[in-house]
């Protein structure tokens, strides 16, 4: 009986969807018309967004794009990806080339207030660090005076690097390379003593690119706050709401212990919080001009936040740390769906 109710509810949602879509904001309307969401991602950063050997995009930033597609279309596959360098990313979003920028991008006041962007939330708390070859016998960042440092331009990384060395009365020589592939080639070829980026990027580079990961050390210092989050353009509050609550739904699903594997079974429970989340009670989907089962579609077709982390970041050696849920000692927190 439950299965029949779920099928009937889904069919009713699809029947109503066209009417809801007619009242959607301009970005959602354009996506519905073309039949997919265009998502700006990294050119290739393991754990966040990279294309596998079959050309399929994977990573926690990719999962966010798929979650939005599941919410808007009821189909997580309706996404196309635009690989962007650090210098290309904001222009691509501003110009309308992409609908969402989901690309390990740090939320700062300058980007939020002067680039015509809205950050919808934080999907990964990070900080900048340094990686060096083990053979250099460097134990901490204060020993890097006079080092050559590989860094990408147009990033907070580049600015933090200068601030850190200046604050510690040290000198460095920057080896500035735009494309991630090329900056990693430069570091692993020995063109620079140090590679600096977000700690997650250091783990990703060491795990995926080093001939022998054990030959490279990530130093203990974290020199900045780097809260990553997806961004959308200013001026379309509806799209801002859809992307924001799609991110929140992945976090809330983990707190409710709803996974892609158990969500159908849990849908049978009488827990009112779960019933509201899955669309069996209330009209929260209609508030977003979506089908009421938008959050169910996200969990069923994509996953919750914890599943995404375990799938993409844990294999790189990254621990959850402050990216745990708020009730497990971390910072991940979603506003209530009620």
What's the pLDDT tens digit per position in 27-76? 999 999 999 999 999 999 999 999 999 999 999 999 999 999 999 999 99
- Helix (DSSP H) and strand (DSSP E) numbers for the chain: 14, 14
Mean pLDDT, residues 147-171 taken together: 96
Mark which of 198, 224, 250 sits at the end of a domain: 224
Residue 38 covered by a domain: yes
Bridge partners of 119, per DSSP, are 231
Find the length of the chain.
338
State the Cα–Cα distance between residues 30 and 27, nearest whole angstrom. 5
Among the candidates 199, 224, 249, a domain finishes at 224
Render pLDDT for 315-326 as a digit per residue (tens, 0 to 9). 999 999 999 999
In a domain, 165, yes or no: yes
Domain of residue 279: give its range. 2-124+228-328
Instruction: Please report, for the domain that includes residue 278, its CATH number.
Output: 3.40.190.10
HSE, side-chain direction, 13 A CA sphere, residue 105:
33
Same domain for 20 and 114, yes or no, is yes
Q: Return the structure tokens found at 93.
A: 């979003």
CA dist list (Å): 229 to 104, 177, 181, 248: 7, 24, 22, 12
Please check whether residue 312 is in contact with residue 47, taking contact to mean a CB–CB distance below 8 angstroms. yes
Whole-structure pTM value: 0.89
Q: Is residue 34 part of a domain?
A: yes
Within a domain: 333: no
In this structure, the answer to whether residues 27 and 12 fall within a common structural domain is yes
Instruction: Report yes or no on 193 lying in a domain.
Output: yes
Does residue 217 sit in the same domain as residue 182?
yes
Whether residue 159 is contained in a domain is answered as yes
In the three-class reduction of DSSP (H, G, I as helix; E, B as strand; rest coil), residue 6 is classed as: helix
Point out the domain boundary residue: 207, 224, 241.
Answer: 224
Residues 11 and 115 in one domain: yes
Assess whether 164 and 206 both reside in one domain. yes
The CA distance from 51 to 16, in Å, is 35
Q: Are 70 and 76 in contact (CB under 8 A)?
A: yes
Model confidence at 12, in pLDDT bands (50, 70, 90)? very low
Residue of 290, 297, 312 lying closest to 260 (CA atoms): 297
Count how many domains the chain has.
Answer: 2
Residue with tokens 């003593």, as numbered in its chain: 193
């Amino acid at each position: 009986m439950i299965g029949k109710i779920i099928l009937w509810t889904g069919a009713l949602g699809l029947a109503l969807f066209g009417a809801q879509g007619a009242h959607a904001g301009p970005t959602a309307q354009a996506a519905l018309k073309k039949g997919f969401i265009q998502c700006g991602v990294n050119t290739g950063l393991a754990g966040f967004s990279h294309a596998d050997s079959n050309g399929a995009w994977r990573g926690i930033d990719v999962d966010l794009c798929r979650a939005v597609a599941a919410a808007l279309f009821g189909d997580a596959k309706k996404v196309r990806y635009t690989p962007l360098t650090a210098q290309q990313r904001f222009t691509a979003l501003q110009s309308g080339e992409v609908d969402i920028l989901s690309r390990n991008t740090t939320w700062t006041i300058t980007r939020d207030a002067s680039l015509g962007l809205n950050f919808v939330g934080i999907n990964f708390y990070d900080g900048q660090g340094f990686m060096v070859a083990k053979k250099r016998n460097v134990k901490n960042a204060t020993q890097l005076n006079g080092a050559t440092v590989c860094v990408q331009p147009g990033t907070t990384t580049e600015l933090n690097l200068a601030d850190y060395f200046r604050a510690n009365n040290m000198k460095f020589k920057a080896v500035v390379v735009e494309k991630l592939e090329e900056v990693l080639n430069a570091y692993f070829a020995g063109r620079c003593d140090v590679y600096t980026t977000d700690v997650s990027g250091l783990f990703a580079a060491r795990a995926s690119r080093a001939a022998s990961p054990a030959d490279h050390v990530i130093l203990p210092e974290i020199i900045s706050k780097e809260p990553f989050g997806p961004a959308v353009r200013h001026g379309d509050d509806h799209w801002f709401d859809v992307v924001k609550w799609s991110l929140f739904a992945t976090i809330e699903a983990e707190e409710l212990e709803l996974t892609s594997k158990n969500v159908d079974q849990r849908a049978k429970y009488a827990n009112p919080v779960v019933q509201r989340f899955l669309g069996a009670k209330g009209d929260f989907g209609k508030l977003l001009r979506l089908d009421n089962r938008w959050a169910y579609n996200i969990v069923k077709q994509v996953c919750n936040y914890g599943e995404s982390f375990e799938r993409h970041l844990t294999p790189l050696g990254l621990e959850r740390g402050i990216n745990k849920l708020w009730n497990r000692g971390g910072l991940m927190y979603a506003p209530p769906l009620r």
